Amino acid sequence: MRLYARRHQMPARIATGAYILNSGLSKVNADAETAAGVHGMAAGTYPFLHDLEPERFTRMLSRAEIALGAALLLPVVPSLVAGAALTAFAGGLLGLYLRTPGLRQEGSLRPTQEGIGVAKDVWLLGIGVGLVVEELSRD
């Protein structure tokens, strides 16, 4: 495993890292209403999250997004590690998209107007898988 990201990987890592870091920073001081909305959507898809207090869940999500964003932005974090973390995160987001009623058109993978904001996260999955596959296929 390489200890540094390859130069050609940095544009994708910077774009996704900045996007995810911003998302995490925007949740740092989330009010109770925002936390309830974020938690409600996640708990509706992933029932095991119901037991978490909305504010606590949102703080944990914020920290995870900040850590992932920073890992992608820092070239000293190996691309295999950053890509695997991004793939797992994006998988969770796409699970949210696939399981939340009203985000997809009935009988289709095509998003509704409400689902576009989550469906577009498929690019995160593609970048994460790309980083992992490249690192695993290199000598």
Cα gap 64→19, rounded to integer Å: 13
Q: pLDDT tens for residues 3-55? A: 788 899 999 999 999 999 999 999 999 999 999 999 999 999 999 999 999 99
DSSP string spanning 20-79? HHHHHHHHTT--HHHHHHHHHHHHHH-GGGGGS-HHHHHHHHHHHHHHHHHHHH-TTS-H
Read off the pTM: 0.91
pLDDT tens per residue across span 76-103: 999 999 999 999 999 999 999 999 989 9
